Chains A and B, each alone.
Chain A
Amino acid sequence: GNSVTQMEGPVTLSEEAFLTINCTYTATGYPSLFWYVQYPGEGLQLLLKATKADDKGSNKGFEATYRKETTSFHLEKGSVQVSDSAVYFCALSITPDGEYGNKLVFGAGTILRVKS
């Protein structure tokens, strides 16, 4: 089946620390991969995406590379800020078997807390 596994949190870092949130996936076919961020009381916002192997998505200092050989899409940022505190979701987009559309399959989410 299709699934996403991401590291459990919460992850607590000091400001300007390096961030890595691990994400691995299992998928039939060729998924697109996404990182979404959810701030308290809000909906999900796209952080970055990659649609094929070896693509690198980047936005606001965050980066992730689509690694087909290791089925991974780890999120990194060189220097986190307090404003980065949020819940981060790794997701894959795939066409369900026997259907024409697509769906997002999400990981459980990782809470990030950044201290000043």
Chain B
Amino acid sequence: DSGVTQTPKHLITATGQRVTLRCSPRSGDLSVYWYQQSLDQGLQFLIQYYNGEERAKGNILERFSAQQFPDLHSELNLSSLELGDSALYFCASSEYGQIQETQYFGPGTRLLVL
């Protein structure tokens, strides 16, 4: 158990819908990361937050947005969903968001868009 929690574990929805994925970091970690894992793209970095502020952005679609709240939990919002958004979405956390730190991963949310 990494100490990172993600909800829900599974999500099934229809094209055009909007969903929210939630992540709670390990106790004491200030930085949260979101990654997408799919068969065709592999593991892709989406976005990083540190203490509520956006720090780095990857290949995140405009239909996707994220935020980190004062209690440090984070939400990833996916809207106007398409079939290709079906994937496993991981949240990770680290203490200060530095490159030498270990990122601890949650169990993931498996999204299926029908």
A interface, CB within 8 angstroms of B: 31-32, 34, 36, 42-46, 49, 51, 89, 91, 93-96, 99-109
Contacts and interface: CB of A to CB of B under 8 A. Distances in A.
A43 B90 contact: yes
A35 B99 CA distance: 14
Given A44-B105, A45-B2, A101-B56, 8 more contacts: A31-B99, A32-B100, A43-B106, A94-B99, A95-B99, A100-B56, A102-B48, A108-B42
A106 B108 CA distance: 17
A101 B42 contact: no
Instruction: For chain B, give the interface size range.
Output: 20 to 34
B42 A106 contact: yes
A44 B90 contact: yes
B99 A102 contact: yes
A24 B6 CA distance: 32
B56 A103 contact: yes
A93 B99 contact: yes
19 contacts: A32-B100, A34-B102, A42-B107, A43-B105, A43-B106, A46-B102, A49-B102, A91-B43, A93-B103, A94-B99, A96-B56, A99-B56, A102-B55, A102-B98, A104-B35, A104-B43, A104-B103, A107-B42, A108-B42
B58 A43 contact: no
A103 B55 CA distance: 10
Given A43-B108, A45-B2, A106-B42, A101 B55 contact: yes
A103 B49 CA distance: 11
Contacts of B64: none
